[in-house]
Chain A
Amino acid sequence: MTVDKENALTYGCHTISSGSIDGQALISPEPVCFYMIDIDSGKINEKSHALYGQSITDKILVLPSGKGSSVVQDEGLFGLKQKHTGPMGIIVKSPDTVLVAGAIVMGYPLFDRVNKGFYDAVENDDHVSIDGEEERIYLLKK
């Protein structure tokens, strides 16, 4: 799947952990702790979470921020990587060191400082393509 860049909405971003990715958006209205995701199914298993029961596998996750302990966030990211059930990449509004270090060490593409309009425009299942070198996000509405 490649995005038709001519017709896509385009936004600048900042690359934290590089990669060029292409997939469907999944928006989390609240922070995510990757340890609270079942690594076999890729589904969020934190009962009080807005995305409880939804799979993050191969999605481009759009998050306000990471959350949770310095021990387990990495462990979640690592387990998901081993089982190939993790997100394709992550777009985050407020990056924290725990999430950033985890993404860099485990090799998840991670982006922040996206132009504001993106967050107003993006919806679940929209097609998102990110060029980490160019620091550009292409958004094609579903």
Chain B
Amino acid sequence: MVLNDEEQRMLGGEFGDGTAEAMKLQVAIGEAFDAERMVAITRAHVSLAHYPSDVWYCGKLAAGGARCRVKPTCNPLYDIDYLESIGIRDSANEAELLRTLRQTFLKLGIILTYSCTPEIQSNVPRFGEIVAFAESSATPYVNAVCGARSNRESAKSALAAAITGRAPLYGYLLDENRHGDVLIQVETPIEDDFDYHLLGYAASKKMGSGVPVFTGMPRHPSPEELVSFGAQLATGGSVGMYHIVGVTPEAPDLATACGGRTPERKLTLTNRDLRETKTLLSQGKGDFEFVMLGCPHYSIGQVAEVAELLDGKKIRPEISFWVLTSPTTRDLAARMGYLDIIQQAGGHIIGGTCADISCWYGLYSGKVGVTDSVKAAYYTPRMDMNFQLKRRSECIEIALKGGQA
């Protein structure tokens, strides 16, 4: 791999050990994928959390004097102050850890957006822009929907890119790797964001590696539906780029999406695949004790739908009700009255908080709840926090009437 003068100086330690460490990781990744050189990036999103490996890595780079040349947005942790304000104590004993990590983030130059959907709010790239995005809810979206160019960065490789302002030139940054090679014909109606969740997971589980090209999909999907779709494509498998013919910008038609080649494989997805995904990922038995919506973070539109369904009603006292969103969207919900409506009904909107994060395990391990998120249902059973998958309206129905799995 050929490095220019400045990249060499970064690697050589002229800008400090932290920057050198970041460049070292990027050179190793570049060599793994036969990148010939580095290119400049203009945006980044880091999916760092307070997991031990992230705390260790961020601390090491910050101590080495690293500072982001391209200031990245960041993923949610959890809003410990809000939880304490409603009487939920710091059972994981993490207040100090969260405070320290926040200081480390600030030292590194990370923007504290605490959102897993920067691609529709705080960090929206333009067509063709070269960026370094981590976060499965975001990377497929910026590639497929925005037409920007990012590899499916890990939390650490995205931070390295933000620090150096460079990314190795390989993978989805190059035209030839963005073309579709698996044709997926969708033969079932796709009606709302929940269907996109199920379809995304089912498709990526079925296809394995590759760039899928979807046909038979609705022509006017909402941003929220596409956020849901991308997040699940990167959960069931490792899809970082996809096309929907007639919808996404690099797929005006099938031939263009596939770069003029014939797709190597063809698959069909039917209602049966969606139903199987729902059954496979729904776990736990017993009375429902919690409802969790907003993985990926709900947009203001989705929060509005929740408020509309809860307006003037009361959530059963034995059921905790959570809407997860970005701090920015929570502020907006407060300004627009949705927060009041949801609180009046007995529910919470919590900002900057992830569905699969330590604050929930102490509350809900060994219990069963409902969610409309395939991603939440997939990851949390490892902590014995179980979900039955339902549509948003069904989740709210259960909040109001109770129910069991």
* Distance from A27 Cβ to chain B, minimum over Cβ atoms (Å): 15
User: Hey, which chain B residues are within 8 Å of A64, CB to CB?
Assistant: 208-209
Number of interface residues of B (CB under 8 A): 44
* Distance from B36 Cβ to chain A, minimum over Cβ atoms (Å): 16
**Residue of B whose beta carbon sits closest to that of A30:** B208
User: Hey, which chain B residues are within 8 Å of A78, CB to CB?
Assistant: 51-53, 56
Contact B280 A48 (CB under 8 A): yes
Alpha-carbon distance between A73 and B208 when the two chains are bound, in angstroms: 17
A4 at the interface (CB under 8 A from B): no
Among B56, B57, B153, B382, the one with the most A-chain Cβ atoms within 10 Å of its Cβ is B382
* Distance from B205 Cβ to chain A, minimum over Cβ atoms (Å): 9
* Known contacts A70-B47, A96-B238: A101-B29 contact under CB 8 Å: yes
A36 at the interface (CB under 8 A from B): yes
A82 at the interface (CB under 8 A from B): yes
User: Hey, which chain A residues are within 8 Å of B381, CB to CB?
Assistant: 47
Which residues from 143 to 172 on chain B have a C-beta closer than 8 Å to any C-beta of chain A?
Answer: 151-158, 171
Among B32, B155, B171, B375, the one with the most A-chain Cβ atoms within 10 Å of its Cβ is B32
User: Hey, which chain A residues are within 8 Å of B52, CB to CB?
Assistant: 75, 78-79, 82
User: Hey, which chain B residues are within 8 Å of A69, CB to CB?
Assistant: 47, 135-136, 234-235, 375, 379
* Distance from B116 Cβ to chain A, minimum over Cβ atoms (Å): 9
Alpha-carbon distance between A39 and B367 when the two chains are bound, in angstroms: 22
User: Hey, which chain B residues are within 8 Å of A10, CB to CB?
Assistant: none
User: Hey, which chain B residues are within 8 Å of A124, CB to CB?
Assistant: none
Which residues from 124 to 139 on chain B have a C-beta closer than 8 Å to any C-beta of chain A?
Answer: 134-136, 139
Residue from A67, A72, A96, A102 within 8 A of B236 (CB atoms): A67
Alpha-carbon distance between A13 and B134 when the two chains are bound, in angstroms: 28
Alpha-carbon distance between A105 and B25 when the two chains are bound, in angstroms: 7
A115 at the interface (CB under 8 A from B): no
Contact B379 A35 (CB under 8 A): yes
Main secondary structure on B side of the interface with A: helix
**Residue of A whose beta carbon sits closest to that of B172:** A97
How would residues 178 to 203 of chain B score, 1 for a CB under 8 Å from any chain A CB and 0 otherwise? 00000000000000000000000000
Contact B152 A71 (CB under 8 A): no
Q: How many of chain A's residues touch chain B, expressed as a range?
A: 35 or more
User: Hey, which chain B residues are within 8 Å of A16, CB to CB?
Assistant: 28, 32
How would residues 28 to 42 of chain A score, 1 for a CB under 8 Å from any chain B CB and 0 otherwise? 001100011000000
Contact B382 A35 (CB under 8 A): yes
B352 at the interface (CB under 8 A from A): no
* Distance from A138 Cβ to chain B, minimum over Cβ atoms (Å): 22
How would residues 8 to 49 of chain B score, 1 for a CB under 8 Å from any chain A CB and 0 otherwise? 000000000000000001001100110000000000000111
How would residues 201 to 228 of chain B score, 1 for a CB under 8 Å from any chain A CB and 0 otherwise? 0001000110000000000000000000
Which residues from 35 to 74 on chain A have a C-beta closer than 8 Å to any C-beta of chain B?
Answer: 35-36, 45-48, 64-74
Alpha-carbon distance between A105 and B135 when the two chains are bound, in angstroms: 18
A90 at the interface (CB under 8 A from B): no
B75 at the interface (CB under 8 A from A): yes
**Residue of A whose beta carbon sits closest to that of B60:** A105
B54 at the interface (CB under 8 A from A): yes
Which residues from 89 to 125 on chain A have a C-beta closer than 8 Å to any C-beta of chain B?
Answer: 93-98, 100-102, 104-106, 110, 112
Contact A98 B382 (CB under 8 A): no
Contact A74 B238 (CB under 8 A): no
* Distance from B155 Cβ to chain A, minimum over Cβ atoms (Å): 6
* Known contacts A16-B32, A65-B209, A98-B153: A31-B51 contact under CB 8 Å: no
Which residues from 228 to 244 on chain B have a C-beta closer than 8 Å to any C-beta of chain A?
Answer: 234-238, 240
User: Hey, which chain A residues are within 8 Å of B236, CB to CB?
Assistant: 67
User: Hey, which chain A residues are within 8 Å of B29, CB to CB?
Assistant: 97, 100-101, 104
**Residue of A whose beta carbon sits closest to that of B170:** A97
Alpha-carbon distance between A127 and B238 when the two chains are bound, in angstroms: 29
User: Hey, which chain B residues are within 8 Å of A46, CB to CB?
Assistant: 382
**Contacts beyond the supplied A31-B237, A97-B153: 13 A-B pairs with Cβ under 8 Å:** A16-B32, A47-B283, A47-B381, A48-B280, A66-B238, A67-B237, A68-B238, A69-B379, A70-B135, A74-B51, A94-B208, A97-B171, A101-B153
